[in-house]
Structure 1
Amino acid sequence: MGQIQSLDEFLNLLSRRRWLIITVTVLGLLLSGVFAKTRPDVYEAAAVIQVEMPTVTGTDGAPASNGSAQILQTIQQRLTTREQLVAMIDRHGLFADLPALSPDKKIDLLRASVQFQTVATEGSQAFGQVVGVSAIIIYARLGNGDQAARVANDLAQGILDQSAAGQRNRTDENVTFYTEEESRLWQEISALEAEIEAYKTANNHSLPSIRDARRDELVSIEDDQRTALQEKLGLEAEMATIQTTETLRETDRRQLAVLQSRIGVLETQISALADRHADIEADLAMAPEVDRVMGNYDRKLTLLQGQHDVVASNLAAAQTAQKLAERQKAERYTLLERAVTPEYPTGGSSKKIAVAGAMASILGAFGLAFLLDLMRPVVRTAAQMERQLDLRPVITIPELTPAKPAARGGMKLPDDPAKPLLGLPRFALFAGAATVLLLVAAAAIS
């Protein structure tokens, strides 16, 4: 504590800085009283809404839920829109004592004075699972307790109304949407299947299902071509043998005619086999393109069927939610506790604030006096000299000040701070004076 290490030194400090302590204390008392008197009171009211879990479980065994957190957030955003807040200000006559405020300022004040707090359901949530809400608390903080309670109850009723009306609308909209989506996907699947059938009909000779048969047919045609060609060569050789004869008999001529006719038939057969062979090769050459197109068709059809399965599952869930809403088996919102008019303002009463300010003023005055004494260290007593310099003074000369004549009828104060005043220690008088000032300020505020 520097130079203040005994009670006498502390009393000496209070004596030397008495006017500073008194001035700071009085100013602090006045400022605390003014602040406590002029501080506006703020009343807080709260309404509690309970979110009841569904009584019927979903297909996965878990309670069927539409996501209360998202629903409540949407309702909260709707209730705090500009139009809703303006209607609430007019309905409850809010800020009527502040006619100078603009409508925008009133809206900002009302939006800042309300708060929505959700209470999560007990138990751990699985990863990716929608967070459940078991209750929601609506706070309203205004300068009038009755208005704060009415605003909190108004917001709570708004949540109840919008949740009841919105839940049925959401389920109906979901069923309508998924029904239309299922119909659209089914039409697309039917159109794609018809397109696939038309393409198969146009390219039936190149389809994978008959490709092996076409290859077998191609091998058979090649065998027939070789057989016909060999037979033709044999007939041509036989004709050449007959034609080498010098004198052709009638039988030879008839034989040549028969051979020529058979050769013509074989040539026609060989030409037909060649044409068929070319057609089959052309069909087999188109196989990669047919495979590519059919692969695209299969992927599109698989994608549409997958989307249709998802939509059908969502439609079944939406229809279940619609039935639950109709039978009131889904999530329900109940007003668990209405907001009541608060009796006392929040943040403490004016008397408590004044007393706290007075105590802070006294402590601040003592602290300021001690700080000033630390900033200007002066050896004032023999004990301080011996403690600071390790020197024992031989002679101590007291400070001599000329005596001032006391005023007529006045009381002469002793110059020695250690001497009692009116039979009491000076620090006791200072403490008593501060206590009296504190009590007077508290009585004035109350």
Structure 2
Amino acid sequence: MGPIYTFDDFIDMIRRRAGVIILITLLGCIASVYWALATPHVYQSSEVIQIEQPKIANDLAPSTVEGSSARRLQLIEQQLMARGTLVDIIQRFDLYDDLTALRMSEKVDLLRRSVTITGVAAPREGYADDGTISVMTFTAEMDNPADAQAVAREFADRTRQMSAARRQSQTQETLEFFQRQEQNLIRDISELEAELADYRAENDLSLEGSLEFRRGEISSLNDAILELDREIIATRLARDRVNPDARAATIAREQAELDATLESLTTQRDLLQEQRETLTASLQTSPEVERELARFERRLTQLQDQLEVITARRNEAEVGFSLESDQRGEKLITLEQAELPDYPVSLSRKKRAAVGGMASLALALIVAFLLELRRPVIRSARQMTRETGLIPVVSIPDLSPREKRRTLGKVWQERLKAGKEGRAARMARKQKS
């Protein structure tokens, strides 16, 4: 059974619980004033930086810094919010020196919650999102305007420095890596060529491509031997066909010439035959040598191909390093510098006190309503009819004796009456005298 249904019931409740409502409201107003005076003002300062795209198109001079700007800036933000960086900033600007009771870990957490870093994504090109950030805003909220400005600028400056240092360090490490790879490949090629030269010397393969050369020599020797055989046969036939009717001296001279020619051809054939046998014997023992040479050639070809690729990448790394060294790549520029705030962003003390007073009044009304719910009593004929459906014939007031309550109005009236009586008595004494 609830006691409050109409506006009249609400007014009756306020009249009955006026003491509780006034007490709670008064205490709440005092607490609100203390809260408003004890709470410091909060000043806000923001610095905006813009991510400027490279001055030279990426197709013409590609950068070796991989990843989107959003990912790189997120890594930088994590480094900025690390404990070591925050402690350095606190000690540099003497932040929270008035809060001597706070430990350093609490100061670090307080600064971390006082600084916000937000980024605005760049417009998309087509349907692909490349994760590019166009603008970053650093906002600091402190109880001192100078500290808010200094902290916002410090975070923005550190972001610019860390971004430039990170990009230059990445390009330098990339260039040094490819330079080391190129030097290692050149050294490996030199060592392999030296091993190949030693192997050729050990196996009497001083000429480049000696196996193919030997096969070609054998083929040439075969052709030469075949030609000599033809000449020998022709010489023998010519010797057999000497005219027997000629003079003996002529026959002897022709036979001697043919014999000398035949002997010379035979000697040449024997030499060529011996050389062919030597080459053939060397080829019969060279399959293992041929396989080893093929392995050398494959390895040398692989190293040379790798060297070409590494050299091309090293050239690209040099271009990227030059871009970052000359500050022609992506960089962060100040779009809006942090200014000294003129007004606090927090509520004024008057507004805080007013809000606290309104909250105190609301709390007092809630407490009064709860007290009414605690003792739901029918106090009027209207409530009797509404709650029970019975219409009372007569209403008898409470005639039981009770102590008179001295309200503030009665006390004030009694004081006024006593004052008047006192003045009248003094006036009477003066007249008698």
> CA 1:144 to 1:17, structure 2 compared with 1: closer, same or farther past 3 Å?
same
Q: Distance in 2 between matches of 1:406 and 1:109?
A: 54
Matching residue's letter, 1:120:
A
Gaps of 5+ in 2: 204-211, 213-283, 413-433
- 1:439 maps to none
- 2:344 maps to 345
Does the 8 Å contact 1:42/1:346 carry over to 2?
yes
1:323-382: CA deviation from partner (whole Å, max 9, x where unpaired): 322443311211111111222333312221111111111112112212222232222221
Q: Distance in 2 between matches of 1:130 and 1:190?
A: 44
Q: Distance in 1 between matches of 2:48 and 2:32?
A: 37
Matching residue's letter, 1:119:
V
Identify the range of structure 1 (310-319 vs 169-178) with the bigger mean alpha-carbon deviation.
310-319
Q: Using the TM superposition, give the Cα deviation of residue 401 of structure 1 relative to its aligned residue in structure 2, in angstroms.
A: 5.3
**Paired residue secondary structure (1:21):** helix
Matching residue's letter, 2:155:
L
**Paired residue secondary structure (1:320):** helix
1:145-181: CA deviation from partner (whole Å, max 9, x where unpaired): 1111012112322333343444334322221112212
**Paired residue secondary structure (1:137):** strand
Identify the range of structure 1 (134-143 vs 74-83) with the bigger mean alpha-carbon deviation.
74-83
Q: Using the TM superposition, give the Cα deviation of residue 102 of structure 1 relative to its aligned residue in structure 2, in angstroms.
A: 5.4
> CA 1:83 to 1:374, structure 2 compared with 1: closer, same or farther past 3 Å?
closer
Q: Distance in 2 between matches of 1:75 and 1:37?
A: 39
> CA 1:116 to 1:8, structure 2 compared with 1: closer, same or farther past 3 Å?
closer
**Paired residue secondary structure (1:50):** strand
Matching residue's letter, 1:97:
D
- 2:135 maps to 135
1:397-445: CA deviation from partner (whole Å, max 9, x where unpaired): 12235476798x97489xxxxxxxxxxxxxxxxxxxxxxxxxxxxxxxx
Q: Using the TM superposition, give the Cα deviation of residue 6 of structure 1 relative to its aligned residue in structure 2, in angstroms.
A: 1.9
TM-score (norm 1): 0.60
1:332 and 2:295 equivalent?
no
Q: Using the TM superposition, give the Cα deviation of residue 313 of structure 1 relative to its aligned residue in structure 2, in angstroms.
A: 6.0
Matching residue's letter, 2:392:
P
- 2:418 maps to none
**Paired residue secondary structure (1:377):** coil
Does the 8 Å contact 1:42/1:144 carry over to 2?
yes
> CA 1:310 to 1:349, structure 2 compared with 1: closer, same or farther past 3 Å?
farther
Q: How many residues align?
A: 335
Q: Using the TM superposition, give the Cα deviation of residue 186 of structure 1 relative to its aligned residue in structure 2, in angstroms.
A: 5.6
Percent same amino acid among aligned pairs? 35
Q: Using the TM superposition, give the Cα deviation of residue 130 of structure 1 relative to its aligned residue in structure 2, in angstroms.
A: 5.7
Q: Using the TM superposition, give the Cα deviation of residue 39 of structure 1 relative to its aligned residue in structure 2, in angstroms.
A: 1.2
- 2:320 maps to 321
Q: Using the TM superposition, give the Cα deviation of residue 301 of structure 1 relative to its aligned residue in structure 2, in angstroms.
A: 8.6
Query: Over aligned residue pairs, what C-alpha RMSD do you find?
Result: 4.6
Matching residue's letter, 2:331:
R
1:167-223: CA deviation from partner (whole Å, max 9, x where unpaired): 334322221112212433565577679989999999xxxxxxx9xxxxxxxxxxxxx
Q: Distance in 2 between matches of 1:367 and 1:298?
A: 92
Q: Distance in 1 between matches of 2:313 and 2:399?
A: 101
1:273-317: CA deviation from partner (whole Å, max 9, x where unpaired): xxxxxxx9xx99x9xxx8xxx99x989997x88976775565344
- 1:172 maps to 172
- 1:366 maps to 365
> CA 1:185 to 1:28, structure 2 compared with 1: closer, same or farther past 3 Å?
farther
TM-score (norm 2): 0.61
Q: Distance in 2 between matches of 1:318 and 1:126?
A: 30
Gaps of 5+ in 1: 203-209, 211-279, 414-446
> CA 1:3 to 1:190, structure 2 compared with 1: closer, same or farther past 3 Å?
farther
